[in-house]
């Protein structure tokens, strides 16, 4: 595994080779990230993983500073996975040049998390667009847990006619049903139990949930110990439209907080 800490040496090494599989991360690697890497390696292209905590997608500096970090452990994990390239850029590497492709932010950015995290998706797309311009990968691998992010990146790539293809990857869960996330590491034992109970409650009732039940479900989850619920929505994942009840192609989407830790999921 070759490690690059600035874009000039990376670009020189790649030398226009676009047969790359790219996995963007913010570090604090877990089994979800590893599943993306394993899927990418099946393409038999060279794999490039980035570790960059993007400050532009955080609304509050406090959240940015609190985001879990363990670069030394991340490097050990990636060496074990035998990836080809690891890119650990600094802020100026990503944001010091003028990007050729203006970010396309579709109306879908106004739904779900977009209503509660001002500027978040614009920040995500800004950094992803710049990574794509630097690396020019054949494929980018993204998890379905961050469904809205996946869709918005896909729409940006399509609108700007970029040659990179998005590969969506299934959500990896712990045995208890909780979607694996870097933020889980910030949960205390009791907080994690509340998160697990919340997700399993919704999963077990998914097919019976209708819009008129959302208020009572919200109150039930608050009684579990959930601190705040931004939304519980039924959405057709093909049409990207809210629905009144769960039917074909529909998922339940939730964003909730246990104390100060905000979690999202869909299933």
d(CA 233, CA 231): 6
**Strand pairing category for 2-4 and 261-266:** unpaired
d(CA 163, CA 139): 9
- Asked whether the beta carbons of 178 and 195 are under 8 A apart, the reply is yes
d(CA 103, CA 85): 26
For 106-151, the DSSP string reads: -GGGGSGGGGTSTTHHHHHHHHHHHHHHHH--SEEEEEGGGHHHHH
The first and second tokens of residue 36, run together, are 């993306």
> Which one of the listed residues 30, 33, 120, 156 is annotated catalytic?
33
Annotated active-site residue 156? The verdict is no
Give the residue numbers marked as catalytic.
33
């Amino acid at each position: 595994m070759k490690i690059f800490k600035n874009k000039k040496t990376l670009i020189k090494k790649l030398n226009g080779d676009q047969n790359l599989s790219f996995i963007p991360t913010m570090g604090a690697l877990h089994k979800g990230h590893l599943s993306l890497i394993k899927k990418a390696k099946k393409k038999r292209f060279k794999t490039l993983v980035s570790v960059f905590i993007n400050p532009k997608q955080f609304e509050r500096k406090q959240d940015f500073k609190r985001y879990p970090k363990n670069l030394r452990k991340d490097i050990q994990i990636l060496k074990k996975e035998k990836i080809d390239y690891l890119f650990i850029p600094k802020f100026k590497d990503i944001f010091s040049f003028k990007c050729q492709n203006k970010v396309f932010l579709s109306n879908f950015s106004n739904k779900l998390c977009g209503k509660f995290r001002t500027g978040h998706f614009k920040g995500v797309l800004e950094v992803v667009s710049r990574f794509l311009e630097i690396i020019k990968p054949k494929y980018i691998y993204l998890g379905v847990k961050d469904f809205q992010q996946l869709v918005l990146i896909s729409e940006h790539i399509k609108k700007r006619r970029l040659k990179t293809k998005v590969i969506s990857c299934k959500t990896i869960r712990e045995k208890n049903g909780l979607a694996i996330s870097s933020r889980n590491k910030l949960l205390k034992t009791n907080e994690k139990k509340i998160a697990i109970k919340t997700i399993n409650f919704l999963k077990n009732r998914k097919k019976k949930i209708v819009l008129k039940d959302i208020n009572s479900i919200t109150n039930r989850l608050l009684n579990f110990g959930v601190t705040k619920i931004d939304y519980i929505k039924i959405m057709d994942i093909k049409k990207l439209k809210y629905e009144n009840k769960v039917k074909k192609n529909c998922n339940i989407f939730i964003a909730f907080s246990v104390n100060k830790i905000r979690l999202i999921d869909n299933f």
